[in-house]
Amino acid sequence: MNWTKYKITILLCAAVVAWGASCLIAEFNYRVRPETPLYAFKLEDCGHGTYHVDFLGESFSFVLLPDQVRQFADSEQIRNYRVRAAVFLDIVSKSIKDLLSETLIKLEVKGWTGENKLLMNR
C-alpha cells in the first residue's frame, strides 16, 4: 500500500473524529447546558490587547500588546524566514518563466505563433 492511501485513511479518520466531537458538543449544548453552551475553542478580543480563550470549558486570558507583536515581527528568526521565502519565490518564478519561454520556443519551432492562435479563435 503506498503512502497516499495511508494519508487518505488518516485524513478520513481525523475527519470522522472531528465530526463526532462536533456532534457531541452540539448535543451536549442542546441537552445539558443550553443556557451556557460549551465551545471546543472560542477566542474573544476584550479590548486593549487582552484576549480571552475558552478551550473545552477551560478559560484563560492573556495580554498581547502591540509592541510585543511588533517586536516578534521584527525578530531575527522572522526576518530570516522572510528572506528565505523571498528567495524561494524568486527561484519558483524564474523556473516558471524559463519553462514558459522553452515551451514557446518549441511551439514557434513547430510553426505556432500568436497570430495563428488569434485566427483560430475567429
The pLDDT, as a whole number, for residue 13 is 93
The pLDDT, as a whole number, for residue 119 is 47
Alpha helices in 49-113 (DSSP H): 66-73, 76-109
Contact (CB, 8 A) for 39 and 54? yes
Where do the structural domains in the chain lie, given as residue ranges? 65-122
The pLDDT, as a whole number, for residue 18 is 87
Which of the residues in the chain have pLDDT under 50? 118-119, 122
Among 77, 29, 83, 84, which residue's Cα sits nearest to residue 57? 29
The pLDDT, as a whole number, for residue 61 is 87
